[in-house]
Amino acid sequence: MAAVRPAPDLSRASTWPDGVDADGIVPSMFEHGVFEHGGQRREDRNGFVGALAVRALRRQGRAVPDVMLDALERCRHGEGGFGFWPEHAHPAWAPALPGDADDTAIMLFELVRAGRIDIDAARRTACRTIGRHRIATLPLLRPPWLRTGVFSTWHRAGRSHDVIDCTATANVLALLAALSLDHLPGASAATAMLADAVAWAGDAPARAASLSPFYPDPAELVLALTHAVEAGAHALRPVRDAAAGSAWGRDAEARTHDDAYPVCGSAYGIAVWRAPVLARIRAGAA
């Protein structure tokens, strides 16, 4: 594994990479997203969708342009984890967000696989960010599958509870398996929570949609579980099989190929992001 690369110059973080051509499918990697809220639409460029695109290209065995990996590196925050946007370059219309477990998991995974971060450095990052933020208390009104000990979504200090997202949790478990950290406190609780959540959802699309507040379509949960099993989280295989065989999971892959597909959103879908370029990349794997 390659040595750790120097951190990118965050004084230029507001300058995103120019467009690249990845086999004719990615005309401009970071002009790929549309943010929608209250009938308003804004073009957006963020590392989250970029990381999912890197994952899709890698899983297809296609070359990932360096410019895409450079952009993921720019999304590293001061505390060591990763965020949806670079720490000092979020859009003017968006709030400044802290680092979070989901972005850290998917970006760190791809940077390790690409040799941009060595595995020991990645393990330290995972332990200091994801591993240290776990749920200690539960709200009175909560879904029946939620439990203490699982990894929290946001990396905020002094918080004992948080909104928990099952797709983000699957992405975290993929990273921990890939880094041989699936023995960490919280991993077994997270695995059991996902099993309970998918069993509770059954064949009910509305229940399935509620499992991942930051993902409007539960298709992303099926994709994340599949990727986690590929990464070595073998205890999730029966969970993935149950999700993929459900009424809401059988056509999950195909749904993500639609340009209008909502890839992520604010909690419970008040605002959504659509990413036609990501949809087209994913369609190339079908």
pTM: 0.87
> What span, in angstroms and rounded, lies between the C-alpha atoms of 170 and 33?
23
Determine, yes or no, domain membership for 196: yes
Inter-axis angle of helices 276-283 and 47-59, to 10 degrees? 10
pLDDT value, residue 125: 97
Determine, yes or no, domain membership for 89: yes
> In the numeric block, which tokens belong to residue 145?
């599958």
pLDDT tens readout for residues 257-277: 999 999 998 887 688 899 988
Determine, yes or no, domain membership for 24: no
Determine, yes or no, domain membership for 14: no
Q: Which residue range(s) make up the domain with 167?
A: 29-283
Residue 141 has pLDDT above 80, yes or no: yes
Handedness of CA 42, 47, 49, 50 (dihedral sign): positive
Determine, yes or no, domain membership for 20: no
Q: What is the DSSP letter of 270?
A: S
Kindly list the distances between the CA atom of residue 163 and the CA atoms of 35, 158, 271, in Å, as whole numbers in the listed order: 21, 15, 16
Q: Which residues contact 136 (CB under 8 A, 6 or more apart)?
A: 148, 160, 161
In 3-state terms, what secondary structure has residue 11?
Answer: helix
User: What's the total number of domains in the chain?
Assistant: 1
pLDDT tens readout for residues 197-228: 999 999 999 999 999 999 999 999 999 999 99
pLDDT tens readout for residues 18-41: 443 333 333 334 445 666 666 677
CATH number of the domain at 170, please: 1.50.10
Determine, yes or no, domain membership for 11: no
Determine, yes or no, domain membership for 8: no
Determine, yes or no, domain membership for 17: no
